[in-house]
Amino acid sequence: QVQLVESGGGLVQAGGSLRLSCAASGRTASMGWFRQAPGKEREFVAAIGWSAGNIFYADSAKGRFTISRDNAKNTVYLQMNSLKPEDTAVYYCAAGRNYGLGGQSLATPDKYAYWGQGTQVTVSS
């Protein structure tokens, strides 16, 4: 069983930046970020496969968010720039065991076996 611990959430003004981190207790294959705003369903944000070249973003994240990972530290990061009030949500880290995931499949929640507890991101206008 892999444990995921997120950090880096907080309150920021619109246009600001935050960097989320997610540390896994063991080695994982794909790692991703999802978010859930009040009254809405959980949605995909960004994900990265074992290979750093295998990255997929939601349209809402393209050009503003950057996902990266440090395999030596079993950690994934989400750099979020130009934040908007609509980015306000609880952000969840997820990790999967399938080394073959890529492209659109990285955006599928049921491809991930492990989930973190979430970290709150609030963007004020």
Render pLDDT for 73-112 as a digit per residue (tens, 0 to 9). Answer: 999 999 999 999 999 999 999 999 988 888 888 999 999 9
pLDDT digits (tens, 9 = 90+) for 10-52: 999 999 999 999 999 999 999 999 999 999 999 999 999 987 6
Rounded-to-integer distance, Cα 96 and Cα 69, Å: 14
Whole-number pLDDT of residue 55: 95
Question: Residues 56-77: pLDDT tens digits?
Answer: 999 999 999 999 999 999 999 9
3-state secondary structure of 8: coil
